[in-house]
Structure 1
């Protein structure tokens, strides 16, 4: 199971045989690590777009607020009401953009955690194999040590 994970984690080797190309045509051409890195980059790009849109809405928010205060000082309540309705809608969109950005940030952090965990798994897998081979030898000589090694690995 661990070896299967390590093989899927690392980049795929390119076989040149036609049979292997047909067999692997439905499978992703990259390893899991590279797929996660690609997804994180795409999420960061989307976060940047959301931030830009949010800044544009904030500018529009400020402009409308100034126009509302100007209309109220001029006692133009109808114009102030129309502008206030538009300002309320803009603030709803700003809130939605903020929540979407936070959701993308959460996904990005989770994927980075998974990526780091995958790296740890690939490093520790050989050590687990060594522990299992030692356990087999130790069980015959000293059964208590074999059970303890089994608990570790």
Structure 2
């Protein structure tokens, strides 16, 4: 019995120390940082994300976007069967989290952007999702070269 307890203790310690660490970045001086994560209900779909007239990329399951930008007014939006919009006034040297909630739609999933607000009733649920995404998912760091795709027609139709 003592050997069994010892074995489980060693295995437990090994599992705890082998887990990936959560690396949450800070924005560069004078910039804002936005993390965009998914809730993973519609795991087979990608959602296209925009910051007003700038295409940020498509986010698939087990991915999240890290977007560093200038502070100020931003209009984030996502597209699927519908469109979801979030206006944000980003402050310099701050990090923000946008959560993409997926719900089943008529033909494909519907999308809803939800800003993580630490004061809301759902903040614990969303914080867990955020930390789980940062720990387990693959980051897509936004750069203009990553998404050098002409999406002007989509942007015109979406706005």
Same fold (TM over 0.5): no
Bigger helix fraction = 1
Higher relative contact order (CA 8 A, sep 6+): 2
Max radius of gyration: which structure? 1
* Range into which the TM-score falls when normalised by the shorter chain: under 0.3
